[in-house]
Amino acid sequence: MDQQCYDQIYALCSLAKTCNDAPILQKHRRTMVDAAIRAASNIVTAESISVYNSTDSILQWGVWWSERALHLYQQLRGHRTHRQTTNIRIEGKRPWTVEHQYPVNIIKHHIYNGYLTDEIVSWMLRYGRAVVVLHEENKLLLSSCKTEAEAQYRYENISIVRHPNFEKKP
């Protein structure tokens, strides 16, 4: 990960901590913590600051895909651009979605319970990545994981690969 990405992740995690500690109503603190953590997660997921907070953007910039999602992507690609392919709809719906192996609610609760900025950054770099999966794969995942231990095997039956559009060039 380059320095610019790391700096943005650190700033967003710091913002989440600051928002959590602010003397504002809990509902506003939690909304702001959520926005900062999701933005940091998007950068972790894309390994780029080009991404922003939307499913469209994560589908376009997300580096990690399930093998099945990538296989369908390759079948649908044809002469389309990457962006056109990620925006394809089948029966009015995208065939894929974005999901975290380690749900962001886990880190949010750590923040509510007093995690320091460096702990938040460390967690995000280790667990904060999301993966593009097919909707049917998403249905097979444990829906409620409250700890890292519970989430550890959440993707056990899903093979995760790096999208070829984002392979590191020598």
Q: What would the pLDDT profile of 97-123 be if each residue is shown by its tens digit?
A: 999 989 999 999 999 999 999 999 999
Q: Is it the case that residue 154 has pLDDT exceeding 80?
A: yes
Q: Is 105 helix (H, G, I), strand (E, B) or coil?
A: helix
Q: Is it the case that residue 170 has pLDDT exceeding 80?
A: no
Structurally, the chain folds into a number of domains equal to 1
Question: Which one, of 105, 118, 115, lies nearest residue 21 by Cα?
Answer: 115
Distance in angstroms (rounded) separating the CA atoms of residues 87 and 130 = 18
**Cα dist from 1 to 6, 44, 49, 69, whole Å:** 7, 8, 11, 24
Q: Which domain holds residue 127?
A: 3-166
Instruction: Enter the DSSP assignment of 34.
Output: H
pLDDT-above-70 percentage for the chain: 97
Distance in angstroms (rounded) separating the CA atoms of residues 98 and 72 = 15
Confidence of residue 5 (pLDDT cuts 50, 70, 90): very high
Mean local confidence (pLDDT), 19-45: 97
**Structure token pair of residue 83:** 């962006």
Q: Is it the case that residue 169 has pLDDT exceeding 60?
A: no
Distance in angstroms (rounded) separating the CA atoms of residues 19 and 86 = 34
Q: 65 forms bridges with which residues in the sheet?
A: 132, 161
More confident residue, 52 or 25: 25
Mean of all residue pLDDT scores within the chain: 93
pLDDT in tens, 62-104: 999 999 999 999 999 999 999 999 999 999 999 999 999 899 9
User: What pTM was estimated for this model as a whole?
Assistant: 0.92
Q: Is it the case that residue 166 has pLDDT exceeding 90?
A: no
pLDDT-above-90 percentage for the chain: 82
Distance in angstroms (rounded) separating the CA atoms of residues 64 and 29 = 30
pLDDT of residue 105: 95
Q: Is it the case that residue 144 has pLDDT exceeding 70?
A: yes
Mean local confidence (pLDDT), 134-159: 86
